[in-house]
Amino acid sequence: MQGRHLVSIDDLSLAEILELFEQARRFSEDLRSWAHLCPGLISASLFYEPSTRTRLSFESAMLRLGGGVLTAADMRMSSASKGESLADTVRVVSEGYADIIVLRHPSEGAARLAVDLSAVPVVNGGDGSHEHPTQTLCDLYTLWIEKGTLEGIDVVLAGDLRYSRTIHSFAYALARFGANLICVPHQGFEMPNYVLKRLREEYGAEPVRADASRLGDLASESDAVYLTPQKPHQLSLFTDGSGLPVDKVDAVYMTRPQTERWGAESEQNFLRLGGGALSPEPLRNALLMHPLPRRDEISPDLDANPRSMYFKQAARGVPVRMAILAMLLGRWESKAPRIASLDRKYEVLGGDNPCPNSNCISHTEQRHCKATFRITAKHPLRAVCGYCSHELAIGVVGCSTTRHFHDRGSAPARKIRPDHLVFFRDAEQAVTMGYTAPTR
Ligand code: NCD
């Protein structure tokens, strides 16, 4: 298992996830009796963003496994404040300082870059609004323990679905387990298109967007979950008062507005559209989940409710992260088949970086990062950034050997070898770069 990383929840097969949960459950029976597993090994926490649960539970997990920890809890206190790149930091730390790196960073795709440079396994502890796979394992583990299964369950995802990385990883995993997703976003903070496309095209999942009219069809008179705004002037999401039938819902997963990732425009929209928090009211059968930290999304009055799961999710972070560390450090091996590796990454040829996401690590650390892509569809040709998974804006594509360019939906475009592909915004740019349209 040496040499493995956990960057996306897609790095683990479903069978491996379930085995990891069995192992976490064994660890949880007595957290104090596993110190023989990782003595002499060191994990390094490189945190470029604040954290309470992720960092402390990883460090607790490593200590409980008998290992040691190096903590850079505030990278502003490190040479990052002198302008040192993530790339150089990862190189240094992975060469003898530590045996595994847990990284949190504000740029999307940061953990993917770290993997390219690290001599030891890398765990993504959250990269911008992209993914947070280990939180997802804590969330799924909680559902698995409480519900006994993950297949076919119905989960409401609520709040800031646009910027919450916990939501994105959770949605991918739930979709792979065949769960049904019901999205109740804050207005203006819907699930991003690149996430919806991946859910649809890679896992065949179509999240239901719940709004008042849709819920009218779904609702039953009794047993309902209501998500209502806390301030009276806010628009209720479920204006017909019938709510979402709890019989059909296994869990409601709330998220906090990710204000630190918003630009001024998001802030204004949030306020203009009512702002504030959603608050779930009667709970009946549905579990209430939250990755924490919470702001106003869940009233402390609900904390004593046996279906409120958020403190359990946090507590379960320790055995789940013990299982992740033991697996990546080669001290516990899952017998389950591994996932077929993700499609290959290719280097972008030619001038501009085609990744449209300005917060992608391929832009924020461009001196250390060669732009890369993965192909996700051939008819028409579609590609995503190899770091942050955002879809590339491709107008026409060229072949670096023939120096011809083609429409991306055309048959010749499909035939270009991926390592010869060149992306252009439009035909004009292709011509400027010396490419020609093939003569018939
Ligand atoms: C989450 C995160 O950092 O993305 N926190 C966590 O790890 N439990 C959620 C959040 O900050 O809202």
Distance 129 CA to ligand 1 centre (A): 10
378 is catalytic: no
Note whether residue 2 is domain-resident.
Answer: no
pLDDT at 341: 66
Note whether residue 437 is domain-resident.
Answer: no
Domain that holds residue 228: 134-314
Candidate from 23-27, 163-167, 200-204 with smallest mean pLDDT:
200-204
What are the tokens at 236? Answer: 């209720």
Note whether residue 50 is domain-resident.
Answer: yes
Note whether residue 340 is domain-resident.
Answer: no
Distance 411 CA to ligand 1 centre (A): 44
Distance 256 CA to ligand 1 centre (A): 9
Which residue CA neighbors atom 11 of ligand 1 most closely?
293
Computed over every residue of the chain, the mean pLDDT equals: 87
Residues 153 and 221 in one domain: yes
What are the tokens at 127? Answer: 């990269």
Which residue CA neighbors atom 7 of ligand 1 most closely?
54
Candidate from 157-161, 339-343, 396-400 with smallest mean pLDDT:
339-343
Residues 297 and 380 in one domain: no
Long-range contacts of 19-22 (CB under 8 A, 24+ apart): 19/334, 19/335, 19/336, 20/137, 20/320, 20/323, 20/324, 20/327, 20/334, 21/140, 21/141, 21/144, 21/145, 21/320, 21/323
Residues 155 and 285 in one domain: yes
Note whether residue 335 is domain-resident.
Answer: no
The tens digit of pLDDT for each residue in 102-112 reads 999 999 999 99
**Residue that terminates a domain, selected from 293, 328, 363:** 328
**Residue 89 pLDDT grade (very low, low, confident, very high; cuts 50, 70, 90):** very high
What are the tokens at 282? Answer: 């009667």
The tens digit of pLDDT for each residue in 111-125 reads 999 999 999 999 999
Which residue CA neighbors atom 8 of ligand 1 most closely?
291
Closest atom of ligand 1 to CA, residue 132: 4
**Residue 215 pLDDT grade (very low, low, confident, very high; cuts 50, 70, 90):** very low
For the segment 75-98, the average pLDDT, to the nearest whole number, is 92
pLDDT at 302: 86
pLDDT at 280: 58
Residues 173 and 111 in one domain: no
The tens digit of pLDDT for each residue in 312-358 reads 999 999 999 999 999 999 999 999 999 876 668 899 997 789 999 99
The tens digit of pLDDT for each residue in 271-310 reads 766 554 455 555 567 899 999 999 878 888 889 989 899 9
The tens digit of pLDDT for each residue in 36-75 reads 999 999 999 999 999 999 999 999 999 999 999 999 998 8
Name the E strands within 186-250.
208-209, 224-225, 227-229, 244-245
26 is catalytic: no
Residues 286 and 185 in one domain: yes
More confident of the two residues 436 and 220: 436
425 is catalytic: no
pLDDT at 31: 98
Distance 166 CA to ligand 1 centre (A): 7
Candidate from 55-59, 261-265, 361-365, 367-371 with smallest mean pLDDT:
261-265
For the segment 244-263, the average pLDDT, to the nearest whole number, is 81
pLDDT at 216: 33
Residues 255 and 213 in one domain: yes
Burial of 415: CB neighbours in 10 Å, binned 0-12, 13-18, 19+: exposed
Note whether residue 166 is domain-resident.
Answer: yes
Q: What is the CATH number of the domain that holds 371?
A: 2.30.30.20
Amino acid, single-letter form, for residue 318: V
Q: What percent of the chain has pLDDT over 90?
A: 63
Residues 144 and 165 in one domain: yes
pLDDT at 222: 32
Q: Which of 5, 55, 64, 104 is catalytic?
A: 104
Residues 120 and 151 in one domain: no
Residues 220 and 357 in one domain: no
pLDDT at 226: 47
pLDDT at 281: 55
**Residue that terminates a domain, selected from 314, 336, 359:** 314
Distance 60 CA to ligand 1 centre (A): 18
Distance 161 CA to ligand 1 centre (A): 13
For the segment 358-374, the average pLDDT, to the nearest whole number, is 94
Question: Buried b vs exposed e over 358-391: b needs ≥16 C-beta within 10 Å?
Answer: ebbbbbbbeebbebbbbebeeeebbbbbbbbbbb
Which residue CA neighbors atom 1 of ligand 1 most closely?
291
Note whether residue 230 is domain-resident.
Answer: yes
- C-alpha 224/C-alpha 244 separation (Å) is 5
Q: What percent of the chain has pLDDT over 70?
A: 87
- Number of folded domains that form the chain: 3
370 is catalytic: no
Residues 170 and 276 in one domain: yes
Cα angle for residues 162, 156, 54 (degrees, 5° grid): 60
Residues 188 and 308 in one domain: yes
Residues 409 and 310 in one domain: no
82 is catalytic: yes
Note whether residue 83 is domain-resident.
Answer: yes
Omega into 380 within 30° of 0, i.e. cis?
yes
**pLDDT above 80: residue 182:** yes
Mutate which of 165, 292, 309 for ligand 1 pocket (most atoms within 8 A of beta carbon): 292
**Residue that terminates a domain, selected from 290, 314, 338:** 314
pLDDT at 152: 87
For the segment 141-158, the average pLDDT, to the nearest whole number, is 93
Find the residues whose C-beta lies inside 6 A of ligand 1. 53-54, 126, 132, 135, 165-166, 255-256, 291-293
Q: What is the CATH number of the domain that holds 280?
A: 3.40.50.1370
**Residue 96 pLDDT grade (very low, low, confident, very high; cuts 50, 70, 90):** very high
**pLDDT above 70: residue 154:** yes
More confident of the two residues 348 and 239: 348
More confident of the two residues 241 and 338: 338
**pLDDT above 70: residue 198:** yes
